[in-house]
Chains A and B, each alone.
Chain A
Amino acid sequence: MPMRYVDEYRDREKAQALAAKIATLCEPGRRYGLMEICGGHTHTIYKHGIEDYLPEAVQLVHGPGCPVCVIPMGRVDDAIWIAEQEGVILTSFGDLLRVPGGRGSFLDAKARGSDIRMVYSPLDSLRIARENPDRRVVFMAIGFETTTPSTAMTVLRAAAEGLDNFSVFCNHVTIIPALQAILASPDIHIDGFIGPGHVSTVIGCEPYRFIAEERGRPFVVAGFEPLDILQSIQMLLLQLHEGRSEVENQYTRVVPWEGNQRALQAIDEVMEPRPTFEWRGLGWIPDSAMQVREKYARFDAERIFTLPANRVADPPACQCGEVLRGTIKPWECRVFGTACTPETPIGTCMVSSEGACAAYYNFGRFTRLRVRQASSA
Chain B
Amino acid sequence: MTQRTEKEVLERIERIRRRPPKITDERITLSHGSGGKATHTLIEALFLDAFRNPLLEPLEDQAVFTIGSARLAFTTDTYVVSPLFFPGGDIGDLAVNGTVNDLAVSGARPLHLSAGFVLEEGFPVADLRRIVASMAAAAERAGVQIVTGDTKVVQRGKADSCFINTAGIGVLERPVRLSVSAARPGDAVIVSGPIGDHGITIMLARGELGIESDLRSDTAPLTELVGLLLDAAPSTRFIRDATRGGVATICNELAEASGVAVILDEEAIPVRPEVRGASEILGIDPLYVACEGRFVAVVGGDDTDAALAALRSHPEGAAAALIGRIGDDPPGLVLVRTEFGGMRIVDMLVGDPLPRIC
Partners in one complex: yes
| A-B CB contact pairs (8 Å), 19 listed | A3-B274, A4-B277, A15-B341, A47-B285, A49-B338, A49-B340, A49-B342, A50-B340, A98-B350, A107-B31, A108-B29, A337-B13, A343-B37, A344-B24, A361-B347, A365-B345, A366-B330, A367-B343, A367-B345
Contact between chains at A363 and B345 (CB < 8 Å): yes
A94 to B277, CA, bound (A): 19
A331 part of interface (Cβ distance < 8 Å): yes
| Chain A residues touching B, range | 35 or more
Interface residues of B in 308-358 (CB under 8 A from A): 330, 333, 335, 337-345, 347, 350-353
Contact between chains at B341 and A46 (CB < 8 Å): no
Quick one: which of A4, A49, A111 has the most chain B CB within 10 A? A49
Contact between chains at A15 and B340 (CB < 8 Å): yes
Contact between chains at A226 and B340 (CB < 8 Å): yes
Neighbour of A94 across the interface among B1, B6, B352, CB < 8 A: B352
A45 to B277, CA, bound (A): 19
A2 part of interface (Cβ distance < 8 Å): yes
Neighbour of B345 across the interface among A53, A226, A364, CB < 8 A: A364
Q: What chain A residues lie within 8 Å of B350 (beta carbons)?
A: 98, 342-343, 362
Interface residues of B in 146-182 (CB under 8 A from A): none
Min CB distance A38 to B, Å, is 14
Given contacts A3-B273, A49-B338, A331-B6, contact A94 B353 (CB under 8 A): yes
B307 part of interface (Cβ distance < 8 Å): no
B9 part of interface (Cβ distance < 8 Å): yes
Given contacts A4-B273, A331-B6, contact A366 B345 (CB under 8 A): yes
Contact between chains at A52 and B16 (CB < 8 Å): no
Q: What chain B residues lie within 8 Å of A353 (beta carbons)?
A: 283
Q: A3-B280, A226-B340, A362-B347 are in contact. List 20 more A-B contacts (CB 8 A).
A: A3-B277, A3-B278, A10-B339, A16-B341, A47-B285, A51-B342, A52-B341, A94-B353, A111-B28, A111-B29, A119-B208, A124-B208, A329-B6, A332-B9, A343-B37, A343-B41, A344-B24, A362-B350, A363-B345, A366-B330
Q: What chain B residues lie within 8 Å of A108 (beta carbons)?
A: 25-27, 29
Report A's interface with B, CB cutoff 8 A. Answer: 2-4, 6, 10, 12, 15-16, 46-53, 94, 97-98, 107-108, 110-112, 118-120, 124, 226, 329, 331-332, 334, 336-338, 342-344, 353, 361-367, 369-371
B10 part of interface (Cβ distance < 8 Å): yes
Q: What chain B residues lie within 8 Å of A364 (beta carbons)?
A: 344-345
A364 to B37, CA, bound (A): 18
Q: What chain A residues lie within 8 Å of B18 (beta carbons)?
A: none
Contact between chains at A367 and B10 (CB < 8 Å): no
Contact between chains at A98 and B341 (CB < 8 Å): no
Q: What chain B residues lie within 8 Å of A120 (beta carbons)?
A: 208-209
Q: What chain A residues lie within 8 Å of B112 (beta carbons)?
A: none
Contact between chains at A365 and B343 (CB < 8 Å): no
A3 to B283, CA, bound (A): 14
Q: What chain B residues lie within 8 Å of A344 (beta carbons)?
A: 24
Q: What chain A residues lie within 8 Å of B338 (beta carbons)?
A: 47-49
Neighbour of B344 across the interface among A2, A16, A49, CB < 8 A: A49
Neighbour of B333 across the interface among A15, A338, A366, CB < 8 A: A366
Interface residues of B in 292-308 (CB under 8 A from A): none
Neighbour of B12 across the interface among A2, A338, A362, CB < 8 A: A338
Min CB distance B77 to A, Å, is 24
B133 part of interface (Cβ distance < 8 Å): no
Neighbour of B30 across the interface among A49, A110, A361, A362, CB < 8 A: A110
Q: What chain A residues lie within 8 Å of B341 (beta carbons)?
A: 12, 15-16, 49, 52-53
A337 to B9, CA, bound (A): 8
Closest A residue to B12 using CB positions = A338
A364 to B347, CA, bound (A): 10
Q: What chain A residues lie within 8 Å of B337 (beta carbons)?
A: 49
A353 to B333, CA, bound (A): 19
B64 part of interface (Cβ distance < 8 Å): no
Given contacts A94-B353, A110-B29, contact A12 B340 (CB under 8 A): yes
A370 to B37, CA, bound (A): 25
A52 to B338, CA, bound (A): 11
B190 part of interface (Cβ distance < 8 Å): no
Contact between chains at B344 and A367 (CB < 8 Å): yes
Contact between chains at A365 and B10 (CB < 8 Å): yes
Closest B residue to A5 using CB positions = B277
Neighbour of A363 across the interface among B10, B344, B351, CB < 8 A: B344
Q: What chain B residues lie within 8 Å of A47 (beta carbons)?
A: 285, 338, 344
Q: What chain B residues lie within 8 Å of A107 (beta carbons)?
A: 29-31, 351, 353
B38 part of interface (Cβ distance < 8 Å): yes
> Lowest 10 A-B CB distances belong to which pairs?
A49-B342, A3-B277, A337-B13, A111-B27, A52-B342, A363-B344, A367-B343, A48-B340, A342-B350, A12-B341
Closest A residue to B7 using CB positions = A369
